[in-house]
């Protein structure tokens, strides 16, 4: 009997040892600090393991749990691995596909290509597939946009979505946000100025470029709307800069608009063309759009950057007053040696 009890004792110890071994593998801490892991749609289990290798304390333990839990089907996404998670929790999370949403943000993009590149840094899809979705001919025709005006649809909000969101799904999010922005109140305000949505956003892009001083944006918008009302050209320097970059390259640095630039042939030359350009010269922020919709009513038809208070403008009712303001600003530019 002693031999039997002895054998049973040894067997029990072996069982306990094996149990403790697997318990250690399964439940010992693997994540020392919270981190994100991105699993691509094209990743294999081997690639997932490779990604985990630099995150987990003992990748061999994790591989064992992967085998025990039969984790063979990769579910792409962004997953948050929290501090203190064990191998079982890590594998269970990845196998479940319960990814954590991300916040997609963008602003101040000048071209739809720029936006596609910005979005591609935040979601799985590449910039070309995003661009192709946003500029799909059927989509543009259906929603009334062009390659140029589709940027108008992209409101600079923060969008919550999954990292694996498809380009078309993201496009739908952008369109829905655009449609929510243009509520009955904003549409009514645009109509009061005889403007459509594209004209509002195009003008807002000019206001945005003219001043970052939000307190005077509605006043600047009022100047432009005064000019539109009486048939004056907008004469907006930001449109000249845009036209020059279209001609000489988007990376061209232009700090000062010269008199010779005002004769450039371009639909964006608002010194030669009447009215508001057909598309925005950049993505305006929401404040600039609302500044146009709530444009200040005043008698000013001119404004010029102020050399006394940089970032703001001096406003004028007539050309002679404006010329004095402009001369003072030109002298300041020369003093600062800003010639181009």
In a domain, 258, yes or no: yes
Domain harbouring 39, CATH code? 3.30.1490.480
Give percent of the chain above pLDDT 90.
Answer: 81
More confident residue, 331 or 239: 239
pLDDT at residue 5 greater than cutoff 60? no
Per mean pLDDT, which range of 13-27, 136-150, 180-194, 203-217 is the poorest?
Answer: 13-27
At 103 the three-state DSSP class reads strand
pLDDT tens per residue, range 254-286: 988 999 999 999 999 999 999 999 999 999 999
Domain boundary (181, 204, 233) is at 181
Ramachandran quadrant class, 144 (left: phi over 0; alpha: psi -120 to 50; beta: rest): left
**CB-neighbour burial class of residue 248 (10 A; exposed 0-12, middle 13-18, buried 19+):** exposed
Domain boundary (181, 197, 229) is at 181
Give the model's confidence band at 340: pLDDT under 50 very low, under 70 low, under 90 confident, else very high.
low
pLDDT at residue 225 greater than cutoff 50? yes
Do 194 and 307 lie in one domain? The reply is yes
Per mean pLDDT, which range of 186-195, 263-272, 277-286, 320-329 is the poorest?
Answer: 320-329
Do 122 and 143 lie in one domain? The reply is yes
Count of helices and strands (H, E) across the chain: 14, 6
Give the model's confidence band at 24: pLDDT under 50 very low, under 70 low, under 90 confident, else very high.
low
Give the model's confidence band at 59: pLDDT under 50 very low, under 70 low, under 90 confident, else very high.
very high
Read off the pTM: 0.87
Give the model's confidence band at 167: pLDDT under 50 very low, under 70 low, under 90 confident, else very high.
very high
In a domain, 340, yes or no: no
The Cα–Cα gap between 333 and 121 comes to: 38
- For the segment 108-126, the average pLDDT, to the nearest whole number, is 97
pLDDT at residue 290 greater than cutoff 50? yes
pLDDT tens per residue, range 31-50: 999 999 999 999 999 999 99
Residue 7 sits in which domain range? Answer: 2-96
β-pair partners for 19: none
Domain total in the chain: 3
What letter does residue 169 receive in the DSSP assignment? Answer: H
pLDDT tens per residue, range 68-77: 999 999 999 9
Residue 13: what pLDDT? 42
At 315 the three-state DSSP class reads strand
Domain boundary (133, 161, 181) is at 181
Count of positions (residues) in the chain: 340
């Amino acid at each position: 009997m002693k031999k039997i009890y002895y054998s049973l004792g040894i067997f029990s110890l072996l069982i306990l040892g094996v149990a403790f071994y697997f318990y250690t593998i399964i439940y010992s801490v693997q994540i020392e600090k919270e981190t994100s892991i991105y699993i691509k749609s094209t990743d294999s289990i081997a690639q997932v393991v490779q990604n985990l290798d630099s995150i987990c304390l003992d990748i061999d333990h994790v591989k064992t749990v992967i085998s025990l839990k039969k984790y063979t089907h990769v579910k792409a996404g962004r997953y948050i691995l929290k501090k203190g998670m064990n191998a079982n929790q890590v594998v269970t999370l990845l196998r479940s596909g319960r990814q954590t949403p991300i916040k997609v943000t963008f602003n101040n993009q000048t071209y739809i290509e720029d936006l596609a590149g910005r979005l591609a840094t935040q979601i799985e899809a590449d910039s070309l597939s995003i661009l192709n979705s946003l500029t799909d001919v059927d989509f543009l025709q259906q929603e009334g946009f062009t390659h140029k005006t589709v940027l108008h649809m992209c409101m600079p909000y923060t969008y919550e979505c999954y990292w694996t969101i498809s380009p078309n799904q993201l496009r739908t999010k952008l369109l829905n946000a655009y449609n929510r922005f243009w509520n009955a109140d904003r549409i009514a305000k645009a109509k009061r100025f005889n403007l459509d949505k594209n004209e509002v956003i195009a003008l807002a892009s000019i206001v945005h470029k003219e001043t970052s001083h939000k307190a005077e944006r509605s006043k600047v918008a009022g100047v432009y709307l005064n000019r539109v009302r009486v048939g004056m050209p907008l004469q907006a320097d930001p449109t000249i800069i845009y036209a020059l970059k279209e001609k000489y390259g988007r990376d061209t640095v232009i700090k000062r608009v010269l008199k010779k630039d005002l004769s450039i042939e371009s639909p964006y030359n608002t010194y030669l063309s009447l009215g508001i350009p057909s598309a925005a010269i950049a993505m305006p922020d929401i404040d600039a759009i609302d500044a146009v919709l709530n444009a200040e009513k005043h008698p000013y038809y001119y404004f010029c950057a102020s050399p006394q208070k940089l970032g703001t403008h001096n406003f004028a009712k007539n050309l002679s007053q404006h010329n004095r303001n402009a001369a003072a600003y030109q002298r300041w530019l020369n003093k600062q040696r800003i010639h181009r």
